[in-house]
């Protein structure tokens, strides 16, 4: 089987046309969505970048792998009998292979004789486990001698290498993982590209009153740090973000065209998702991924199955997590899912054969804050173990009614204490099931303080 996994950094689903966005940002992604199924309630198990990709490729929650943040503690995957002593010491076993019961998705495909290739513009956080058992792993980089960085690797560089791999392996089974840095900040599109969105509306939050209240915040990615003084300056920031999305959408279109040119678009399983979203002041942080609010934690998930597989095209509202992606790909490929994986296959959901038997999902953030949330069809409950530098603004316990308050603006903890108690009990039960004997990695992180928060505090000094 041929599989293409598209991982787009910092892409919010509510900025995609197929998800109802008013701006014309994603014609090619919209076309892909029309050929498959889009999941409206998809979340990453862990955010931001590296913890999310660990969950994506291992099918396991961060509390199990031990990867809940960036930095030294993300360098090796933990197995049941292991405990990190030197956090920088990614083992050679992590570099080469893992026990078969604990295979990552790429290892599973590799050992099934699929050609496994990764093209990634994400070299910022090198981790041995991320690179193992690929036949090829390519890092596009800017030419030597330029002052560009990993944050400015252009999407066409990724697309060109992906397309070369498609042409090279069009007549064999492959698992091709393609990661695009765009639309992650900084936003580098031209003035003309930004201005194409000037006449179209922006989302309702933050309001002008909220932006005014944010002027006194002395926190990372605050309104004053980002130059946001009113709704007009917010629109300029969003124009840059949407121009980046439009740009990466063009690269996705080029990749899909390469599949069509080789005559393998129909037979290829295509999965498109993101590692996290991006927040734009809805809770006081601008152009940042720092929490388990929907702006950070909710992501697109589009699945187009091979043409010989049934598909119930359109939208689904099942609660799904990115640990479900590896089991889904394995299921389509006819591979047995390792017992260590936590996710479930979405193949039957894509076919319209069944609903997911799932009352809630759980997710975490560990870079700027240490938070764990549980989401049901109606409610989101959040426990914060470390507020980072937002201790004045982030309550320890939050509850949102996602039906009446989809922008998560009104903490209704005090008016619905019974719901808080019920969801807190469910979260405790989840921890009893998923946190290994060696301890809760997120709680441990809260004891030392999130690494991103420590870094941001130094930058603000």
Instruction: Determine the Cα–Cα distance for residues 21 and 407; give it in Å rounded to an integer.
Output: 15
Q: How many structural domains are present in the chain?
A: 1
Please tell me the predicted confidence (pLDDT) of residue 84.
Answer: 46
CATH code: domain of residue 297? 3.40.720.10
Please tell me the predicted confidence (pLDDT) of residue 102.
Answer: 85
**Residue of 325, 412, 344 lying closest to 3 (CA atoms):** 325
Is 31 within a domain?
yes
Residue tagged 């740090």 (tokens): 225
Residue ranges for the chain with pLDDT beneath 70:
79-99, 123-126, 142-152
Instruction: Determine the Cα–Cα distance for residues 43 and 296; give it in Å rounded to an integer.
Output: 9
Is 14 within a domain?
yes
Is 383 within a domain?
no
Please tell me the predicted confidence (pLDDT) of residue 268.
Answer: 99
Q: What percent of the chain has pLDDT over 70?
A: 92
Write the CA distances from 386 to 1, 68, 446, integer angstroms: 44, 14, 5
With beta carbons less than 8 A apart as the criterion, state whether 299 and 13 touch.
yes
**Residues pairing with 358 in the sheet:** none
Please tell me the predicted confidence (pLDDT) of residue 244.
Answer: 97
Write the CA distances from 151 to 52, 111, 124, 345, 451, integer angstroms: 18, 33, 9, 33, 19
Please tell me the predicted confidence (pLDDT) of residue 97.
Answer: 54
Which structural domain, as residue segments, surrounds residue 124? Answer: 2-353
Is 47 within a domain?
yes
Is 29 within a domain?
yes
CA atoms within 13 A on the CB side of 410: 10
Is 143 within a domain?
yes
């Amino acid at each position: 089987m041929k599989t293409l996994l598209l991982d787009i950094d910092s892409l919010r689903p509510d900025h995609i046309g197929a998800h109802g966005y008013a701006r014309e940002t994603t014609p090619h992604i919209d076309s892909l969505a029309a050929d498959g199924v889009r999941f409206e309630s998809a979340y990453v198990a862990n955010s931001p970048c590296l913890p999310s990709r660990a969950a994506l490729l291992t099918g396991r929650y961060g509390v199990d792998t031990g990867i809940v943040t960036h930095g030294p503690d993300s360098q090796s995957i933990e197995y049941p009998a292991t405990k990190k002593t030197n956090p920088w010491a990614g083992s050679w076993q992590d570099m080469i292979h893992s026990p078969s019961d604990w295979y990552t998705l790429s290892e599973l495909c590799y050992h099934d004789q699929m050609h496994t290739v990764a093209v990634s513009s994400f070299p910022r956080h090198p981790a041995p486990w991320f690179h193992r058992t690929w036949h090829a792993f390519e890092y596009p980089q800017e030419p030597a001698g330029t002052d560009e960085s990993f944050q400015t690797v252009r999407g066409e560089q990724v697309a060109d290498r992906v397309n070369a791999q498609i042409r090279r392996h069009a007549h064999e089974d492959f698992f091709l993982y393609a990661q695009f840095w765009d639309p992650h900040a900084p936003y580098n599109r031209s003035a003309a590209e930004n201005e194409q969105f000037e006449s179209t509306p922006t989302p309702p939050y933050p309001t002008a009153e909220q932006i005014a209240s944010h002027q006194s915040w002395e926190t990372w990615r605050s309104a004053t740090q980002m130059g946001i003084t009113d709704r007009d300056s917010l629109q300029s920031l969003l124009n840059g973000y949407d121009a980046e999305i439009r740009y990466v959408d063009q690269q996705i279109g080029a990749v899909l065209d390469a599949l069509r040119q080789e005559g393998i678009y129909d037979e290829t399983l295509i999965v498109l998702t993101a590692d996290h979203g991006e927040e734009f002041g809805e809770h006081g942080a601008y152009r940042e991924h720092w929490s388990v609010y929907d702006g950070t934690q909710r992501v697109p998930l589009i699945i187009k199955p091979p043409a010989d597989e049934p598909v119930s095209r359109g939208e689904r509202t099942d609660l799904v997590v990115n640990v479900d992606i590896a089991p889904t790909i394995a299921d389509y490929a006819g591979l047995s899912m390792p017992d260590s994986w936590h996710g479930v296959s979405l193949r039957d959901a894509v076919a319209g054969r069944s609903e997911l038997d799932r009352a809630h999902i759980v997710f975490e953030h560990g870079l700027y804050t240490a938070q764990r949330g549980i989401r049901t069809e109606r409610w989101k409950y959040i426990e914060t173990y470390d507020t980072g530098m937002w201790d004045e603004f982030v309550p320890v316990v939050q509850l949102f009614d996602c039906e009446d308050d989809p922008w998560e603006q009104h903490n209704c903890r005090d008016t619905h204490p019974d719901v808080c108690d019920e969801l807190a009990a469910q979260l405790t039960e989840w921890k009893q099931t998923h946190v290994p004997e060696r301890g809760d990695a997120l709680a441990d992180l809260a004891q030392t303080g999130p690494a991103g928060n420590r870094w941001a505090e130094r930058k603000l000094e």
